[in-house]
Amino acid sequence: MSESSLARTLDSHDALPALARAAPRPFLGVTRSALGRMWRDRCDEAQALQALAMVQQYGLPDMVARVLAARGVAPGEALAFLEPRLRDLMPDPSVLRDMDAAVARLVVAVKRCEQIAIFGDYDVDGACSAALLGGFLGRCGVPYVIHIPDRLTEGYGPNMAAVSALREAGARLLVTVDCGTASHAVFAHARELGMDVVVIDHHQAPAELPVVEALVNPNRQDDLSGLGHLAAAGVVFLVLVALNRALREAGFWRADRPQPDLLAELDLVALATVADVVPLRGLNRAFVRQGLAVMRRRGRPGLTALMDTAALSGPPEAWHLGFLLGPRINAGGRIGDAALGARLLLTFDEAVARATATELDRLNKERQAIELVAVEEAMAQADMALSADPDRAVLVVHAPDWHPGVVGLVAARVKERFQKPTFAFAANGEGGLTGSGRSIPGVDLGAAVRRLVEAGQVAKGGGHAMAAGVTLADGNLAAFAEAIDALLRDSVAVAGADTALLIDGAMTAASATTELMARLNGAGPFGSGHPEPVFAFPNHILTEAAVVGNGHVRLRLRAGDGSQVGGIAFRAADQPLGRALLASRGERVHAAGSLAVDRWGGAERVDVRVADVAPATPGKAVDGR
């Protein structure tokens, strides 16, 4: 069979069904790692043959081909996947329900030069969405005001007091971004005040929607666009594409008022897409790839200042957005001025940008200190809860004195540790509790919370699959814990049935090169829905392992040929992984982790972010518990 015919054969999802059904075998024979997991090849046998076809047909490195095949990329799609073009993936915005109605109302506002109020959420997606829309309106010469609610005094989403104040300030049109899908009463109040409302959102939607001029949300139940994976900023970008088109057709743009370059706004779409942990597939992946290219040009003073303040080394990568830039923008909404993020992203004054970025960095350090104490308490609570009920599907932790701005981060850390959906709650100052939840793949928190709201068991709540917010007016935490546990028990059982660590391939220390990283990056960006590759380093000597920084374990692996690679296990020192690494110094181990480029002193090297370790010697145990 020729290479091309092999590729065509393997493009079929029905190819080699017997191979695809073959029982998985432990990778490197690891049936129980330091974290108690089996290791398994992410590629089944059919996908391994697809990878071989890519290697033969396109000359791809074996590791790159395996990464693509394991993520469902067929041989005939490989080249297009490695070079995603936005124009090939962009839909006509009008496929979104209510898009044309939203654009029609915005066109009227632009032509009349009406003052527009933009109401956003206090997270990164909300800040980016508000900045996207505000920046476009500014280029149209339309007056606008952005309101980001205070997390403590206003809570999530539109509220009557804020809407009244915006109307008194002259706004005739209210546009909500990253919120508003379930704000029935508030929008009824806005109508009474003579305001029109357009909603641009992506959160789970109830069956009954509020009465507004337009509600653009790919997750509303009557939307058939198939774009429910977009972040709110991605939806806003599609609105701007449609609005720009309508204004062009109306002859609005002219020599003294040039049409804006919407592609230059993709840095904000990329930041929101990564920070909001939506699936990095299809259009989202193209948004992030193109947005990173825009960000590398350093044309937006606010992001440039934030990158410099965060001491970002080298060109920005997807993980920088989620772990360095996003948390700093979020810090304003968590414990400071919620509007700082949007102001940073909109300013073109470099001095203002530097000052705002510095303040966000300060708030982020303060947030980290607050979070550290709360996380320790939450871990202890979770341990006790599981000791009392090992079968509990959802963990619920709380303390009245936790800062409401960090409960989402607390939930995320507990979820990481125990691999169970987790909600963390704090007192909201009104006799109730405000909480935030984080989920595991395969368990839809947003849908569960919406069901509890519709059943009257939760006062207020919403979100999407991986994250949700909840308000308990009566503070009855026990009732919520039992209700959410009952709702999610089956899906958690299915999601947790296979805890194996999926391995994309095996390599030696000598193979971990910057050249390989450059080729692997073509298969990215990696994140939610498009997992970062995990590689195994078999039979390497763990020559060094020591605790560094804030509880990290720095290590070094040496292969049989003498080549070496450095590595780090983040926040692992007092965890089973860290204890196993420290106990295995001088031993031969199988190590597994993802690769990252470390830039220091002008030089580049590849490090391993270690995710797990297992003994290389048969019969020897490496268990840090």
**Do 457 and 541 fall within a single domain?**
no
Q: What is the pLDDT of residue 507?
A: 96
Among 40, 60, 44, 61, CA closest to 10: 44
Q: What is the pLDDT of residue 4?
A: 45
**Do 545 and 457 fall within a single domain?**
no
Instruction: Kindly report the length of the chain.
Output: 625
Mean pLDDT of 164-170: 97
**Do 399 and 509 fall within a single domain?**
no
**Do 561 and 492 fall within a single domain?**
no
Q: What percent of the chain has pLDDT over 70?
A: 95
**Do 516 and 492 fall within a single domain?**
no
19 token code pair: 């191979």
Q: What is the pLDDT of residue 317?
A: 92
Q: What is the pLDDT of residue 2?
A: 44
**pLDDT higher at 186 or 85:** 186
Q: How far apart are CA 85 and CA 283, in angstroms?
A: 9
Examine residue 536 and state whether it is found in any structural domain, yes or no.
Answer: yes
pLDDT digits (tens, 9 = 90+) for 85-116: 999 999 999 999 999 999 999 999 999 999 99
Count of domains forming the chain: 3
**Do 547 and 573 fall within a single domain?**
yes
CA pseudo-torsion sign 487, 490, 494, 499: positive
Examine residue 7 and state whether it is found in any structural domain, yes or no.
Answer: no
**Do 473 and 606 fall within a single domain?**
no
Q: How many CA atoms lie within 13 A of 612 on its CB side?
A: 25
Tell me the pLDDT of the chain averaged across its residues.
Answer: 92
Q: How far apart are CA 188 and CA 193, in angstroms?
A: 9
Among 462, 499, 472, CA closest to 38: 499
Check if the beta carbon of residue 595 is closer than 8 Å to that of residue 526. no
Residue carrying the six token digits 């480029």: 597
Mean pLDDT of 223-242: 97
Output 597-601 pairs: Cβ under 8 A, ≥24 positions apart: 597/314, 597/514, 597/517, 598/566, 599/313, 599/314, 600/313
Compute CA distances 503 → 42, 134, 534, 612, whole Å: 5, 44, 5, 11
Could you tell me the pLDDT band of residue 622, with boundaries at 50, 70 and 90? low
User: What does the radius of gyration of the chain's CA atoms come to, in whole angstroms?
Assistant: 25
Q: What is the pLDDT of residue 125?
A: 97
- Structural domain of residue 152, as residue ranges? 93-160+216-297
- Segment (H or E) for 111: helix 99-112
Check if the beta carbon of residue 225 is closer than 8 Å to that of residue 96. yes
pLDDT digits (tens, 9 = 90+) for 28-82: 999 999 999 999 999 999 999 999 999 999 999 999 999 999 999 999 999 999 9
pLDDT digits (tens, 9 = 90+) for 78-91: 999 999 899 999 99
CATH number at residue 584: 2.40.50.460
**pLDDT higher at 441 or 378:** 378
CA pseudo-torsion sign 457, 461, 464, 466: negative
Mean pLDDT of 138-159: 93
Q: How far apart are CA 200 and CA 230, in angstroms?
A: 12
Q: What is the pLDDT of residue 464?
A: 85
Could you tell me the pLDDT band of residue 14, with boundaries at 50, 70 and 90? very low
Q: How far apart are CA 549 and CA 464, in angstroms?
A: 34
**Do 490 and 588 fall within a single domain?**
no
Among 250, 270, 297, the domain boundary falls at 297
Check if the beta carbon of residue 103 is closer than 8 Å to that of residue 556. no
**Do 520 and 484 fall within a single domain?**
no
CATH number at residue 235: 3.90.1640.30
* Main-chain phi, psi angles of 78, to 5 degrees: -60, -50
Output 374-380 pairs: Cβ under 8 A, ≥24 positions apart: 374/399, 374/402, 374/403, 374/406, 374/407, 374/410, 374/424, 375/409, 375/410, 375/413, 375/414, 377/402, 378/410, 378/413, 378/414, 378/424, 379/413, 379/414, 379/417
Is residue 224 scored above 50 in pLDDT? yes
pLDDT digits (tens, 9 = 90+) for 254-305: 999 999 999 999 999 999 999 998 999 999 999 999 999 999 999 999 999 9
- Segment (H or E) for 176: strand 173-177
Examine residue 225 and state whether it is found in any structural domain, yes or no.
Answer: yes
Mean pLDDT of 532-556: 96
Residue carrying the six token digits 């590759």: 533
**Do 119 and 152 fall within a single domain?**
yes
Rounded to 10°, the helix 266-275/326-335 angle is 70
Is residue 599 scored above 90 in pLDDT? no
Pairing of strands 535-548, 505-506: parallel
**Do 488 and 508 fall within a single domain?**
no
Q: Classify residue 241 as left (phi > 0), alpha (psi -120 to 50) or beta.
A: alpha
Q: What is the pLDDT of residue 452?
A: 94
Examine residue 337 and state whether it is found in any structural domain, yes or no.
Answer: no
Among 297, 331, 363, the domain boundary falls at 297
Check if the beta carbon of residue 48 is closer than 8 Å to that of residue 22. no
DSSP letter for each residue of 266-316: HHHHHHHHHHTT---STHHHHHHHHHHHHHHTT--HHHHHHHHHTT--SS-
